[in-house]
Structure formats: C-alpha cells, structure tokens
Amino acid sequence: MGKNFFMKKKFKIAIASGKGGVGKSMLSSSLAILFSKKYKVVAVDADVDAPNLAIWLNEISRWDKIEKFSVSSKPVFDYKKCNGCGKCVDVCQFNALKMVSGKPHLDSFTCEGCGACENVCPRNAIKLKPVNGAKIKIKDTKYGFSLISGELIPGETGSGKIISKIKGIAEGYDYEIMIIDSSPGTGCPVIASLQGVDFVILITEPTPSAFSDLKRVLKVVNYFKLPWGLIINKKDINNALGNRINKWAKGNVLGSISYDQNIFKAIADFQPILETDLIAKQEIKTIFNNLLLKI
Amino acid sequence: MGKEKIQKIAITGGKGGTGKSTFSVLLANKLVKLGHKVALVDVDVECPNDYLLLNQKLKKKIGFTYAKFPKIDKRKCRKCGLCVKSCKSNAIFQAPGQYPIFLPELCSGCGVCWLTCPYGAIKPREVKTGEIFINQVNNNLWLITGLAKAGLEETGPVVAQVKKIVLNFAEKMNIDMILFDTAAGTHCPVIQALINVDFAYAVTEPTPMGAYDLGLLLELSQKLKIRTKVILNKANLGNKKFIEKIVNKYKVKIASAIPYDKNLAKAYSNGQLLDLDYDFRINGEKFFYEKKV
C-alpha cells in the first residue's frame, strides 16, 4: 500500500457516487484543499451539466479564462441538392430526423452529431457543422491550485467529450495530484471521468436509494478495474444501514461524515467546510489521512 | 377518439439529491387521491430509485430497450482504418497494422463505422441496453422503471424508448397522468425525458449550488419551450434568496415550498412515502394539475 501514489509522478483521483447530492463536490473541494498543502494539485469539475466545485471553493467571483468550444457537430441540409430520398432518416439511430413535406428535418435536441446522415447522403446535401456546445472555465484559486471547470451549454450534447477535453487541459498542468469531481449517474460523463484515473473515491449516504446507486456505479468502477475507497456521508441518519454498508464495503471504507444541518448554513454563507468549526471538518481530515495510507 | 389528452409532467431540477424522486412519489400519490389514474415513470435510468421509495421490487418486465453496436468480421477487414477516422466518439482504436478494436464504453451505436466500411466488414448487432419494469402500486398507480445496463455510454435513447412504451401502456390502461422522474443535470437522458412533456416541475434546494444548477435547467426547459415551475425543497434550510434570484431571472414561479422534515426523511428511508398526504400549495399558487389544460 501507499506505493502507487508516492511512486507515480502524477496521480489522478476521481470522486463518484451514482446518486446525486450525497457530497461529491463538498468532498472534492475539501480534498483538493488538503492535498494542496503538501502537493501540487489541479482540480477538475467534471460534473459538466451541474458544475458546483467553484461554489464549494468560494471561487465564484471571476474566472481567469472562459472559452467556448465545440464538442459536437450538427448536420446542415442543402435542400436544393436534396432529392428527398429519406436515406438519412432511415439511418439515424437516434430518430433525430423526420421527413416533413418530402424533406428531412432535424430535431437538434435529439441529434448526437455522429454524421451517419452525412455519410449516407447520395447527393452530398448534408454537411456537419461544429456547434459551440461547451464552456471551459479556468481559475487560479486562492489555495494555490488551478480549477478547471467544464460546462455543457443547456440543450447541447457531448458531456463526455467536454470531460475528456478538460482532463486533457489539466494534464498539461504541473501537478502531482489531480482531483476529478464527477457527475451523478453511471453513463457517459461518469465513464469519461473515470477513464484513466488511478483511484476512485466513492461517496454515499445510508439510504436505500444511495446504496443502490452506489452498487450501480461500482459496476463501472470494476469494469475499469480501478481501486476504490468509500466514504459514508451523513452516517448517523441511519446507523444500522450505515453499518451494513460498512460491512459490505469490506476494507474499502475511508471514513464517515456526520449529518449536520449547519453544513447548509455554511454553504449558504459560501464558507468552505474546512474553514468552519463543524465536526465534519475533523472527519474529513481523518478521511484524508486514511486516504494517504490507502493510495 | 373523444378521449382526454394524457397529461405528461416531468420532475427534474438540475442538481442531484434535491428531492426529485421524493417529490415525484408524493405528487403521484396526491394525483391518485384527486381521482387520477397515474403512471409514475422513473427515467433516471442510470440510477432509478422510485421503486425503493415505494417499497417495490423490480421483477416484472414489460419490455427492453435496444441499440445497435458494431461487430467486426475479420475475414473481410483490410485494416484500412477508415472506420477509426469516421467515429466521432473515439470508440475505435487501431494499432498500426492491426485489426481495429471497438471500445463499447465509448460507443454510442450511431452506425457511422458500418456505413463507412468499404468492405462490409462491420455489421450492426442488436444489443439489449436496458430493461423496463412495471409495478402496480395500487388500483390507480403504476410505477414504470427504466434501468440501463450499467456501463452503457449513451442512455438518452434508453429514456426515449421507455417513454414510447409507457405512452402505449397509458393509452391501453386509460391512464390520464404520466409523471417522468428525470436524472440530474441537463445532458442527453434529461433532454430526452423532457422532450414533448406538457410541463415540468424543477425541484431545487435553497443553496448556491441548487440555484446555479436550476439556472442551467431552466435555460434548457426554455429552449425546449416547456412551461416550468419550481419546487423549493428543504425550504427552511440554507437561504431562499439564491433561488429567488434565479426564479426572477427566468421569470418562473415557485409552485411550492417543502420544509425539511424529519418524518419525511424517515418515510423516505423506510419506503413509506405513500402514507404521507402532502399539501404543496403556497401563496394560493395553483398547481398545474389543478387547472384544466
């Protein structure tokens, strides 16, 4: 134990949970701050359709850099060339095309931008055009590390590609530890977040929903054969289930955090947990120390 | 036809863990008590939880969802690499001089590779991507749950297929209200859940995070032209002003405020939410369901 992190020059940790709202960003922000006291850190907010890491770090005032970029393309039709053969409609696996009075029409919200229609059109009447579907925001935080945050523009697709892109940008930084705060769920953004990381921190709470979602996301973690650790947040809201989860996770538990309504107040005052006197602060520090032993 | 149109309501919100599923179950219960026949549809297909809140087991299936994925015929493949170039998802990898390797965790199943291959060496293969479960909770309440295969990259089409099956089912069963409980965020599975609904409730919490994500969600619902109202959950915690700012910016209304309540949390944990009868109304603001639309 321990040799992975200390032998590797660059170490990547992703934080995932399955269920939303169980504490991913709170934990990610706290761990980034704790690591930054000893190591060179870069933080990545990969919850691109609900990015909140900046708020948790109280770094909302101004970004150093905001850049729009394209993660997907959408077909544009030249109706003069189109003879209405309908091949593009047949070939679309996402049902994003419909014939309307003899010509194909696009439902851009359903379109994946894959280019199957362009590919199949016998008259070259379809061309894919890139769409600016994403924003990348970068900031040097007051903690001395950089935060790279991706944001999917609502209504656009391609969250996985944004994540690959911002992880690529983060890779260019001089870092020893990269913290990747992923989104809820198990689909494309989570897969993109977990790809290529060295360790996954899973966080859950003792409710049947969160436990069920935890098992789902663990399947993805296991698919990538990644080592993981577990944190049980709000453990005291249901100690019995909390203990059951503890047992289920065998030796992988890194620690737990107590439920505290004051955390809500701290959030509303933009106060990072580590700058409060809440019990959670000490609990997170314990988790951090356990984590160092584990990686 | 002469039949009344089926009302389709989405429950969404942006941020995770704000209470979408809890509210969905409470609302479904309320609608049943008001005399409606209701289908509650869990389209958080990556992490569905409504069945747990309703103390149900996912056993009985009413269908599957499918997608096509590429399969290579090595006898026909000439290693030309055109498929690799065609793939916008970077799901095909080829080492020099080797056969291409297909990475299922990145594949969206779009079909560009088999359309591109000049030698007919790539063929579509239909694969199950998810299951659709049904539970009859009581005489007038059905729960339909979409469950995507864990590790499936593209879950938007799963949602779209679940919705299609539900609509058929609802017509057959004379269901007049369908509630779609969506995933968090604004990405493909949420977009698919919101398309073609009559209106939406956005469940949020009074924190800066809740407010920020609500803003993104409202931007999406306005682009999709869906009337949306806000449900402020855990209303007595945090600070309401964050939400009020967003609500004013997007000119939407707060339809109801639900205080954080230990009994509710307990009922949630134990799968007993149906025992609660919540009155959501505040400020005399009417719920969408109380108006004839």
Closest CA to A179 of A22, A58, A4, A34: A34
Residues B187, A91: C-beta atoms closer than 8 Å: no
- Say what the pTM is: 0.92
Q: Are residues B157 and B211 in the same domain?
A: yes
Say how many residues make up chain B.
293
Please compute the mean of the pLDDT values over residues B5-32 and round it to a whole number: 93
Q: What is the pLDDT of residue A162?
A: 94
| Pick from A216, A237, A268: CB nearest B239 | A268
B244 plus B264 within the same structural domain:
yes
Q: A84, A82, A100, A93: which is closest to A116 by C-alpha?
A: A93
Q: Are residues B234 and B255 in the same domain?
A: yes
Are A185 and B185 a contacting pair at CB < 8 A? yes
**Partners of residue B53 in chain A, C-beta under 8 Å:** 209
Q: In what order do the strands lie in the sheet with B254-258?
A: B61-72, B122-138, B141-148, B38-42, B177-181, B7-12, B199-204, B227-233, B254-258
For residues B187 and B159, state if they share a domain.
yes
* Token digits of residue B122: 């790539």
Q: What is the pLDDT of residues B62-74, one digit of tens each?
A: 999 999 999 999 9
Q: Are residues B14 and B85 in the same domain?
A: no
pLDDT of B5: 86
- Amino acid identity of residue A227, one-letter, is P
Query: Could you write out the DSSP letters of every residue in B96-116?
Result: TTS--EE-TTT-----HHHHH
Q: Identify all chain B residues contacting A58, using CB atoms and an 8 Å cutoff.
A: none
Note whether B171 and B232 are same-domain residues: yes
Residue A62 has a pLDDT of 87
Is B180 within a domain? yes
Burial class (CB in 10 A: 0-12, 13-18, 19+), B278: middle
- Distance (Å, whole) CA B253 – CA B229: 5
- For chain B, the straight-line distance linking the first and the last C-alpha, in angstroms and rounded, comes to 18
Distance in angstroms (rounded) separating the CA atoms of residues A24 and A233:
10
The arithmetic mean of pLDDT across residues A181-200, rounded, is 95
**Confidence grade of residue A135 (pLDDT, cut at 50, 70, 90):** very high
For chain B, what percent of residues have pLDDT higher than 90?
75
Q: Which residue range is the domain that position B168 belongs to?
A: 7-65+129-288
Report if residue B177 sits inside a domain.
Answer: yes
Comparing CA positions, the residue from A209, A185, A260 lying closest to residue B260 is: A260
Between chains, do B49 and A185 touch, taking CB under 8 Å as contact? no
Is residue A198 scored above 90 in pLDDT? yes
User: pLDDT tens for residues A64-82?
Assistant: 999 999 988 999 999 999 9
The pLDDT score that the predictor gives to residue A1 is 42
Q: Rounded to an integer, what distance in angstroms lies between the CA atom of residue A110 and that of residue A124?
A: 22
If asked whether residues B159 and B260 sit together in one domain, one would say yes
What are the pLDDT digits (tens) for A81-133? 999 999 999 999 999 999 999 999 999 999 999 999 999 999 999 999 999 99
The reply to whether B271 falls in a domain is yes
Higher-scoring residue by pLDDT: B4, B32? B32
Q: Which residues of A41-67 are buried (b: 16+ CB within 10 A; e: fewer)?
A: bbbbbbbbbbbbbbbbbbbeeebeeee
Residue B106 belongs to domain with CATH number: 3.30.70.20
Last residue within a domain, chosen from B57, B92, B120: B120
Report DSSP letters for A253-271, one per residue.
EEEE----THHHHHHHTT-
Closest alpha carbon to A107 in A143, A61, A155: A155
B214 secondary structure, DSSP code:
H
Tell me: pLDDT of A2 over 50.
no
Which of A231-235, B31-35, B99-103, B226-230 has the least mean pLDDT? B31-35
pLDDT at residue A55 in the model:
94
In this complex, how many residue pairs, one in chain A and one in chain B, have their CB atoms less than 8 Å apart?
220
Cβ distance A223 to B151 less than 8 Å, yes or no, reads yes
Q: Return the pLDDT at B287.
A: 56
Q: Which tops the pLDDT comparison, B276 or A165?
A: A165
For residue A8, is pLDDT > 90? no
Quick: pLDDT tens for A17-45. 999 999 999 999 999 999 999 999 999 99
This model of the complex carries an ipTM of: 0.92
* pLDDT confidence of residue B256: 85
* Cα A277 from Cα B217, distance rounded (Å): 34
Q: Do B164 and B35 fall into the same domain? A: yes
Band the pLDDT of A264: cuts 50, 70, 90.
Answer: confident
Nearest to A154 among B189, B207, B220 (CB): B220
Please give the tally of structural domains in chain B.
2
Pairing of strands A228-232, A199-204: parallel
CA distance A224 to chain B (A): 10
Determine, yes or no, domain membership for B233.
yes
- Residue B15: give its domain's CATH number: 3.40.50.300
Q: Both B267 and B155 in a single domain?
A: yes
Contact B187 A113 (CB under 8 A): no
Indicate the pLDDT class of residue B283, thresholds 50, 70 and 90: very low
pLDDT of residue B34: 86
| From A21, A56, A207, residue closest to B18, measured CB to CB | A21
* B209–A18 CB contact, under 8 Å: no
Q: How confident is the model at residue B1, as a pLDDT?
A: 42
* Residue B2 counted as domain residue: no
Of the candidates B178, B157, B182, the residue with the CA atom closest to the CA atom of residue B167: B178
Let me know if residue B1 belongs to a domain.
no
B178 and B257 in a common domain: yes
Claim to verify: residue B140 and residue B177 sit in the same structural domain: yes
Looking at this protein, which amino acid is placed at residue B193? Answer: A
Please give the residue that has the higher pLDDT: either B30 or A278. Answer: A278
In a domain, B293, yes or no: no
Q: Are residues B113 and B134 in the same domain?
A: no
Give the closest of A73, A93, A208 to B111, CB-based: A93
* Sheet order of strands, A11-16 included: A65-77, A126-140, A146-152, A41-45, A177-181, A11-16, A199-204, A228-232, A253-256
